[in-house]
Copies of this chain bind each other. A is one copy, B any other.
Amino acid sequence: MNVRVYQGLGLDEYVGVLRKAVREHKLVLIMASCSVDYEGRGASTLGEGERVIIIKRDWAFLIHRPDGYSPVNWQPQSSIIDFEVHGGLLIIRAVRKKPREIVTVRASDISLVVVADMSDTAEFIEYVSEHEIRDLIARNPSILGEDLKITNIEKPVEPGFVDLYGIDNRNRIVVIELKRVTATKDAVSQLHRYVIAVRKSLGRQDVRGILVAPSITRSALEYLERLGLEYKQLNLKQLRRMLEEEKKKSDRKPGASLLEFLKRE
């Protein structure tokens, strides 16, 4: 990694360094005392204070206060970034086209500028996503504690997509909405929409709606029962164990899924 650190430069020198760095899509860090205005979908102002400003290679733009997870102001990638000196201040403007939004930084005191050439090509692999859980249940519907046959994954309806769709042992259609976190009334509404849509499109009333989640809020459960829908609890720990089991098995016979195997390499 090629890293250059600048301190104690004049404003005009800083502007030169920053313009060049951004033009060349380097990663830029600025520590400065500044004030910030934002106007776009919303609007905000922030008085003078010391912050970290990050400009990424793709011109994503982040302003972080010394505390907290989230940036206080920002602009997502491919905004346009420019610098100028005005009234003894360094003005940084980050402009987004659509929606039209502008973040304006007025920096009075620049303590540090870092310009870095960074290389990061690694793949980011996530496990235990709703995706993975959904497919696991599709392969092993008995997880839900009854005799179901899953016929569709992400079946389109209305518009919208039913996570899992199948038939129970009494030939009733089953619509399943899956959540990997506590289910709220929003999730119940979502399931309800799908059930209504399926009933309407099939012209039959014996369509069950099942909300599958590790937990559910009290009022969501009441709401769900009032709508004649069902809730089934998910055991996440058990699911994880099953996922690991499956992974081990496919490791033993990698021919079964070459792509999976390659990914793991």
A residues adjacent to B (C-beta < 8 A): 1, 3, 5, 7, 27, 29, 31, 33, 35, 41-52, 54, 56-58, 60, 62, 64-69, 72, 74, 76-77, 109, 111-112, 114, 116, 118-129, 158-160, 180-181, 185-186, 189-190, 192-193, 219, 223
Contact = CB atoms under 8 A, between A and B. Distances in A.
Contact of A66 (B43, B72, B118): B118
A158 B223 CA distance: 10
Contact of A3 (B62, B65, B67, B112): B112
B127 A1 contact: no
Given A44-B127, A65-B120, 13 more contacts: A1-B111, A3-B31, A5-B5, A27-B66, A29-B52, A41-B181, A42-B126, A42-B127, A42-B129, A46-B123, A51-B120, A158-B219, A189-B190
Nearest to A73: B124
Contact of A112 (B45, B60, B114, B127): B114
A186 B185 contact: no
A56 B126 CA distance: 25
8 contacts: A1-B109, A3-B112, A31-B118, A56-B67, A72-B124, A159-B219, A189-B192, A193-B223
B185 A160 contact: yes
Nearest to A61: B69
B67 A126 contact: no
Copies of this protein chain in the complex: 2
A75 to B, nearest CB: 8
A124 B118 CA distance: 32
A62 B68 CA distance: 10
B111 A49 contact: no
Given A33-B1, A129-B42, A47 B122 contact: yes
Contact of A47 (B50, B57, B123): B123
A113 B195 CA distance: 55
A46 to B, nearest CB: 5
4 smallest CB-CB distances across A and B, nearest first, come from A49-B120, A47-B122, A189-B189, A66-B118
